[in-house]
Each structure stands twice: as structure tokens, then as C-alpha cells.
Structure 1
């Protein structure tokens, strides 16, 4: 690994002093990049992850083109489920679709456990390659049990998660068994990524905002407590992501996780009011990436000034980059955050 390793992201995750605010973006590798679109002409989404040299290139592209302070492994939260033999397809414009949704505990009682070394060797080889190639930290990741369960029970994306929550309410024992299964898989997968060189791991719980705080506490908090407690024993920093879940921040604040995500619906003032003391990442509205550059910079400037150089902040989006975004605008935003946050610190 390069002796010029940029560890600002890791230091911010640990709430240590940093010379500038680190930046990375959700979905920073993807269809807005011409190089990525060219690769997709030859490989399907899942096929990319099966070719470590190609997957490593896709993962590196945002670091090389944008100058972001962390790379995130290019993969999908469905990768370990698919490796366990579940039939899931990524349908363009829709998302993950399962042909046999869960309806009872019998539907998942026969699943084989994930053995990361033999089931996803291509993922681990990619991480080993990136550990040698990158001069910034690599974020590994996995889907959180609730979000994975929502796809498994709904059969695909949902707007209301009625089936998922109905299963949770009506079959609490089966729900607990499903959470245990998915937690075990998540830990196996993330531990393997850490052993191969991931310096940070993010747990994506994209749709958990559909739960009330009461239901999160009752049906999910024990599972997340277990996952983050086990990750705490490793050398990697841990991050937790969801969108539209500001009401769950007090629950998350009780978890042994290093970094919490918050989106544009939640402000720094809200974080203070709620007593959130962990490091945080967020919370720019991705739609602002379509705004004129002066407005985009003004909103970024406001975020940096509200944080006012206090440790434990990673600049990010409240959700992911979408295909219509200009790479030039992302580059300009990254440079602005770096430069303006340096200036704020030098003025203090």
C-alpha cells in the first residue's frame, strides 16, 4: 500500500482531528460515468463482481476521477443471497426481484449457510486487489437484515412494506429466525471482507425507515446490536446507512456503531437536539446535483459552516448518485468541500 495513504476518512469516522472534511458519495461508481457504461456493454451488473480486475477498476474510478477520500466496493447487497443459491435477478429500472418470496418459516429453513471463502471468492479477491491498489480506505458493505428481508418477503421493491411488516407482526418466531439467519450471513460476509483488507464496513438498511421507533426497538434493535457488537471487535470502522429514518436516530445512537448516516430531512440542529454524539455522514439532497453549481456550492458551504470544523463529519449525500448527474459537477463539489473545509480550519 502507498506510503502516501490518505486516512482522513478513517480519522473522521473515529472523531479524530482532520485537516479537511473527507468526501465520498453513495453510489459513486455507476451509470453517470462513461467508463462504467462502456464496461456494462460487456458485463451484466452481477458479472462485474465475478471479474475481480474489472470490479476493482469500477471501484477505483471515482477515486481516480473525483478525488474522493474513500472507495466503496462495487457489489450488490444481494450478492451473498445469490451465492447461497437464492434466485434473484436485478431488473433494469425495478431492482432486485425474487421469484419465490418468503411466506412462512419453511421457505427459508433449508437455506445453506454462507461460506464466504468458497461462495464469494471473487468478492474477496477484488478486495485483496484493491488493498494493494488504493491510496484511500476501502469501504466493504452488506445489506442489513431488515432491508434484505423486505426484498425476500415482498418479492422485490415496495412502497409500503405491508407484507414485510405483516410477516413481522403475525409470525414473530419466524421473523426472529429470519433475522438470526441474515445477521449470521451479514457477519460472515463482513468479517471476510475485513480480513481481506476492507478498513471500513457499511451496513445498508435502506428501507428501515418504514418502521416506527417502537417496532425498530422491539423487532430489530437486538439484531443490529449483535451485528455492530461483533464488528466492534475488529480493526475496521463501522457505518450504518438508511434514508428517511431520522426518527430512528435515538435508537441508532444506542448501537456500538462508529458512524451514523442522516439525510436532508434531518439537520445538524436536529442531531444536537436528539443528543447524537457519534460521527455522522450526510446529508446533501442528491437532487441538488442537478442544481446550478453556485447553488450546489452554497448548500455545501452551509453544511460545512454548520458543522464548523467539529470532528466526526464525513461529507456525503443523503442517498445515492443517479445516472443524470454530471461527473464534472461531482468533481467540482469534491474540490469545493476539500478547499472550503481547509479554509474553515485555518481560520479557527
Structure 2
């Protein structure tokens, strides 16, 4: 790891950080406790977010820096997590590349004119990210200012394979059969598209770093739909490019849900952390990933619907399983919209109050 990621307790903008637990953990430094945040912590389970959702469309919330900042800060103020993650969406990238993207409340993403063949690549382009995604960078700068060093700020993007899934399928799916068939029947076109997404994502994340993020996470939500060989060929080879372009500039985490079979390959990218879901035991994940990388996860989000004493017991068991070093407590996927705020707080507070023995 280079000196660029071995900073003192300051954010990338130079403001002293009051809480740098997550950054120290990712740098392999000792910490007084396990840090904690939750995927999708800024959003749908918080009553104050729901009020904003009733007033503004999804993309209005994403593209208005003041709204994105307000939403990003809500879980810091209300739940007490150790890091903020910018309120945005992975599908801002295909939108910036020229595809129409709609987000329908209650139904999810819809791309009315998806990519189906080689000629469709003429309709998209590698954008000037400052021009097309400037609203994200404005939101990051404003959030950084409003945080005033309370906690680090996380930026993110979708992995190229996951972005391709939506660009080809045109909507959400449990299996993304059309996206997989596209890769298997038109491999040359698929790899051209994956490379375009990769180049856009690298430029996008580099600009996020300039705007002040302290770490980034690459979300490969659909990596687990691929066999180990296909994951390497269709997903990991492009994630590797992104990590290589960024790892000297910023702390990086890869989260490829369901792709635990390839933890060793993901660890070899040089990323600082790997997110895991609840379907793999922490001990096995550590064995596969090795000792030199941080593991993040892996609480089942549905378990946050349990009674609070059960949540406290289960979170304690998770912390004991991961041990005192090299772990960031998180969910194994995004928080569900029907989780009571008190249950989210119980998750966070149990982590914060837990002291590892020895």
C-alpha cells in the first residue's frame, strides 16, 4: 500500500476527522472497536427520507445536491453509523452514457430502449463525467462540507457486469437471463460494452476522489449469477481494471454479492476490503480471502426485522465470528424498506458497544 492511502486522521479534503475507524481498519491499523455502516443506510427505511420521496422524484433527489446531501446525512444523525455513503444510484452511469433510465417507485429501474446488438453501441458513448455527472460531485463536495469531519464519506459505482445487466435487460430481474445470453451469444459486443462501462466508471470514480470521498465501494450486485469462470471473464477482469486505476489514490472495497467462490481472485486485485453476504461463514471467507484484506459484512438484512434482543444476540455472534481485526460490520446486502429505525439503531449500537476479548 502506498503512502497515498496511509494518511493521518484527516479526510481527503484536509478536514480533521473525528471518527476515522473505518479508514484505519482498511489500512490494517489497530482500532479500539469494529467500525459499522449499512448498505442503503441513506434512504427508504427512514421516515424523513419518505417525506422527501413524496415531494421529489428519484432523479430529482439524486440530481439536486442539497437533497442528496440531506439524505446522505440522515443516518449519521439518526442511526449513528461510522461512515456516510453518498445518496445516488449505480444507474447514473448508463444514464450518463446516453441511455434513458427511469426509476419507478415500487417497481425499480426501467430502461425503455436497452442494448440488444452491436449497432446499439452507436447510441451510447463514454461521457465527459464532469459534464454529465457533475451533480454527483457537487453533492459530494456539499456533503463533505456539511459532515465537517464527523465521519468519512464513501463514494461508489456499480461493477461493469451489473451495469450491463440493466443496460441489456432493460429492467430488474432475479436471473438476468437476457443479459447473460447477450454475453454468451455476442461476446465481442458484450466485451466492447463492458470496456465502455469500465472506462466511464474509472473516470467517474477518479472524479469522486477529487470531490472528496475517503473510500469507494464497487457494487457487483449480480456477480453471484455467474459461474466462477464467467465471473472471471465477464466481471472480475473489469473490476480489476477499476481497482488498479484507483487503489493508489483511495481505499477501495469490492462487494460482489453471491460471488464468494472468487474471494481469492478479488483479494488479488489489491482492493483494501471485500464485502460478503450472509451465505458464507466468516471463517471460510477469511480462509479464501487471506489475512491481508479486510472483510465487510455479513448480517442478513431480514434479521433486522427480529425483536431487538435477538438482533443484539445475532450481531454479537457475528462480531465474535469475525474476530477483532480486519472487519467492518455491515449488512450482507441493502437494508430493507420495512426495517424499523430502532432496529437499525440496535444493530449499530450493538457493534459500537461490543468489546472483543483479548
* TM-score normalized by the length of structure 2: 0.92
**Residue 36 of structure 2 contacts residue 329 of structure 2 at CA under 8 Å; is this kept in 1?**
yes
Greater CA drift, 70-79 or 156-165:
156-165
Is the Cα contact below 8 Å between 1:32 and 1:322 reproduced in 2? Answer: yes
Task: Find the counterpart in structure 1 of residue 256 from structure 2.
Answer: 242
Q: Is it true that 1:212 corresponds to 2:201 in the alignment?
A: no
* Whole-angstrom distance in 1 between the partners of 2:136 and 2:69: 10
The yes-or-no answer on 1:314 pairing with 2:335 is no
Q: Does 1:73 align with 2:82?
A: no
Normalized against structure 1, the TM-score is what? 0.94
2:283 touches 2:322 (CA, 8 Å); kept in 1? no
Aligned to 1:325: 339
Residue 335 of structure 1 pairs with residue 352 of structure 2 = no
Q: What are the within-5 Å matches in structure 2 for residues 163-312 of structure 1?
A: 163-234=178-249, 236-277=250-291, 278-310=293-325, 312=326
CA contact (8 A) 1:209 1:248 kept: no
Alpha-carbon separation, structure 1, partners of 2:230 and 2:67: 41
Within the alignment, does 1:124 sit opposite 2:104 as a pair?
no
- Per-residue CA distance 1:49-72 (angstroms, 9 max, x = gap): 221111101001101111100110
Tell me how far apart the structure 2 counterparts of residues 301 and 309 of structure 1 sit (CA, whole Å). Answer: 12
Name stretches of at least 5 consecutive residues in structure 1 with no aligned partner: none
Bigger shift: residues 103-112 or 145-154: 103-112
| Counterpart for residue 24 of structure 1 | 37
Distance of 1:164 and 1:54 partners within structure 2: 33
Unaligned runs of 5+ in 2: 1-13
**Residues paired across the two proteins, number:** 342
For residues 24 and 211 of structure 2, what CA distance do their matches in structure 1 show?
21
Once residues 275 and 11 of structure 1 are traced to their aligned partners in structure 2, the CA distance between those partners, rounded to angstroms, is: 19
- Contact kept? 2:160, 2:197, Cα under 8 Å: yes
* Equivalent pair of 2:216/2:251 in contact (CA under 8 Å): yes
| Matched position secondary structure for 2:122 | coil
Alignment of 1:34-183 (within 5 A): 34-134=47-147, 135-183=150-198
2:315 match: secondary structure: helix
Shift of 1:144: 0.9
Q: Deviations over 1:65-96 (max 9, x none)?
A: 11100110100111122233311111222211
SS of the counterpart of 1:238?
strand
Q: Distance in 2 between matches of 1:254 and 1:64?
A: 36
Distance 2:133 2:294 in 1: 31
Cα deviation, 1:257-296, whole Å, max 9, x if unaligned, reads 1110111101112123324331110000011101111111
| Residues in 1 aligned to 2:332 and 2:78: alpha-carbon distance in whole angstroms | 21
The Cα shift of 1:6 comes to 0.8
Q: Which stretch has the larger CA shift, 143-152 or 102-111?
A: 102-111
* Runs of 4+, deviation exceeding 3 Å: 1-4
Aligned-residue RMSD, C-alpha: 1.4
CA distance in 1, matches of 2:114, 2:16: 49
Rounded Cα–Cα distance in structure 2 between residues aligned with 1:92 and 1:250: 38
